[in-house]
Amino acid sequence: MSSVNLSQPTSRNIRSSILSPGKVSREEAEEAVRTMILWLGDDPLREGLLDTPARVVRAFEEWFSGYRLKPEEILSMTFEEVEGYAEPVTLRGIQFESYCEHHMAPIIGVVHISYIPDRKVVGLSKLARIVDLYAKRLQVQEKLTAQIANTVQAVLNPKGVAVMISAEHQCMSTRGVLKHGVDTITTQYTGEFSLDKSRQSQFVKLVTSGISR
């Protein structure tokens, strides 16, 4: 490893990102993609690949847009005129795409969220946006599940939150053990969902009835 030359662009990228995460320039990110293309054995200067680094960086901005969002802003608008509605509000089958933090391979699946309001409710689309806020980052499914549940609990302060995620990990289906069609299922409960087992089984029954994934 003594041949590592810190004046090379790749090493400079790594060094600057360690020194100041999030401060890597677009140019440096594009250079890193060019390095990967070269490492694969292709020519980044051939016509078909010329604009690829710029496109990859733009795609990454979209796939990892969650780093730029704040949960407090998404969940700030709540409503209290719900005529005393106090039973769970459940969103079933919110589709998401994330990327595993070990291989940067896609994790594709669905999230089910339920919360028991304590007077205030939140716009339904906001819960879907919370999913994206955490999904569009480098993730492990266990952490994603906990982050969604804990954030809804902390910001909205309902009587309880339940989250279930069912997803396929492409780092397992397209490489390594090469097992297709395996769903990884994780759950996280807070408040009444955590204390009351009947609340939990109600939730599980509701979100798993009549759906295949």
Q: Which residues are annotated as a binding site?
A: 100, 103, 171
Active site residue 180: no
Rank residues 98 and 114 by Cβ distance to Zn ion and give the closer one: 98
Active site residue 147: no
Name every residue whose Cβ is closer than 8 Å to that of residue 111 and which is 6 or more positions away in sequence. 94, 96, 131, 135, 148, 163, 164, 165
Which member of 12, 92, 103, 120 binds Zn ion (CB under 5 A)?
Answer: 103
Active site residue 31: no
Which member of 33, 74, 100, 130 binds Zn ion (CB under 5 A)?
Answer: 100
Active site residue 102: yes
Rank residues 100 and 144 by Cβ distance to Zn ion and give the closer one: 100
- Check 8, 97, 102, 142 and give the catalytic one: 102
Rank residues 114 and 145 by Cβ distance to Zn ion and give the closer one: 145
Taking CB under 5 A as the binding criterion, the range among 3-11, 19-27, 92-100, 179-187 that sits at the site for Zn ion is 92-100
Residue nearest to Zn ion (CB): 171
> Binding-site residue total for Zn ion (CB under 5 A)?
4
Rank residues 128 and 171 by Cβ distance to Zn ion and give the closer one: 171
Q: Which residues bind Zn ion (CB under 5 A)?
A: 100, 102-103, 171
Residues belonging to the active site: 100-103, 141, 169, 171
